[in-house]
Amino acid sequence: MTAHASEGPYRQGSRTVQERVGVRDLADHAGRSIGDGIRPVAAAFLELQPMLVLGGADTEGAVWASLLTGAPGFVRATGPHQISIAGGLPKADPLATALAREGTPVGTIALDPRTRRRMRLNGRARPTPRGLVIEADQVFANCPKYLQKRDLLEGKAPGRPSAPRQGVRLTGDQRAFIAAADTFFLATVHEHGADASHRGGNPGFVEVPSPYELVWRDYPGNSMFLTLGNLATDPRAGLLFLDWATGTTLQVSGTARTEYAEDGSRTVRFTVTRTAETLGASPYAWSQPEYSPANPHWTPQEEPAPGTRTRNPQ
In the chain, where the domains are located = 5-292
**Domain 5-292 carries which CATH code?**
2.30.110.10
Q: What is the DSSP letter of 166?
A: E
pLDDT tens for each residue of 122-150? 999 999 999 999 999 999 988 888 999 99
- Number of C-alpha atoms within 13 angstroms, CB side, residue 175? 21
Residues 6+ apart with CB under 8 A from 227: 186, 188, 195, 197
Please tell me the distance from the alpha carbon of residue 300 to that of residue 302, in angstroms, as a whole number: 6
Confirm if 272 and 226 have CB atoms less than 8 A apart. Answer: no
The pLDDT of residue 287 is above 80: yes
Exposed, middle or buried, 259 (CB in 10 Å: 0-12/13-18/19+)? exposed
- Radius of gyration of the chain from Cα atoms? 18
Please tell me the distance from the alpha carbon of residue 99 to that of residue 94, in angstroms, as a whole number: 10
Confirm if 63 and 50 have CB atoms less than 8 A apart. Answer: no
Please tell me the distance from the alpha carbon of residue 89 to that of residue 99, in angstroms, as a whole number: 8
Please tell me the distance from the alpha carbon of residue 310 to that of residue 291, in angstroms, as a whole number: 19
Query: Which residues does residue 286 pair with via DSSP β-bridges, in sequence order?
Result: 152
Band the pLDDT of 297: cuts 50, 70, 90.
Answer: confident
pLDDT for res 312: 33
pLDDT tens for each residue of 40-96? 999 999 999 999 999 999 999 999 999 999 999 999 999 999 999 999 899 999 999
- Separation in Å, CA 122 to CA 1, 38, 56, 202, 209: 10, 11, 10, 28, 32
